[in-house]
Every structure is written in structure tokens, then in C-alpha cells.
Structure 1
Amino acid sequence: MVDKTMTIALLISFFIPGLGIAYVGDVKKALMILGVWVVCKILSFYSFFMSIVVFIIWAYGLYATYREASI
């Protein structure tokens, strides 16, 4: 069952990785994901490989948000 909190958290995390996790309460994990995503996003302008890493971090952010919100 998907509740309103999970939907909002996933929507937030879809646009900015990590913030959905902060919305459900795990601020430390959220800041780590957001920080790594921002650094990799900046480096992706110089390397195609980093673009792939940015996508993986984004996908992990959605997955982690789903797991945190479903607990």
C-alpha cells in the first residue's frame, strides 16, 4: 500500500536525489546521497562515465527513499 507520505517522498527524490529521504526522517543519509550526487553531477561535465554514475546515484536515491518510507 502506497501512502501519501511515500508518494511525496518519492516525488521529491525524483527531482533532487536524497531529499525524499530527508522528508521521511533520515537527514544524514539524505545529505550523503545529495552530496555525492552533486559532486558527480559537476564531474559529469568532464567525463561520460560520471554521467552513468549520476544516473546510478539517482536510481539508488529513489530506491533508498522507497525503502525508508515503507518502514
Structure 2
Amino acid sequence: MAQQWCIVPGQSLRSRSWNGQSVLYNEVSGATHLLDEQVLELLLALRDGSLEAEDWADPALQQTLAELAKLYLVHPC
């Protein structure tokens, strides 16, 4: 079974987007991150619980989530 991920507790995913880019404030670390809108949409889908079981098996999704874990935005759950 593929790894499932959750938003780190304390994240409200406050962001602003324009021209395909998003700036996201990380309440846990105090850092601000520049992300593309697709990554922000992934974070919002995680928060909303809208990822399906088959989504977790996607290697590209797993890689993206592992990178987001390095930013303290998500963690394995």
C-alpha cells in the first residue's frame, strides 16, 4: 500500500496566487514558500480529504509529497 500523507497540524494554508504561482505562509516554521498552483491544489486536496485511494499509488505524487515534507507542510499519516 502506498504512503498516505496529511497536512502538518497548525497549517491553515494561507496563500496568494497569480500567474500560475502561489506564495504560501507556513505557520509551523514561519517560512514563506513559492509553489506552483498545482502543488497548492494538492495541499488543498489533502486538507479537504479529496484524494482517492488510487491517487496515492502515483510515484510523482509521492515524490512531491516527500518534497513538501522537507518544508514541514505535510507528514506521513
What is the TM-score when the length of structure 1 is the normalising length? Answer: 0.34
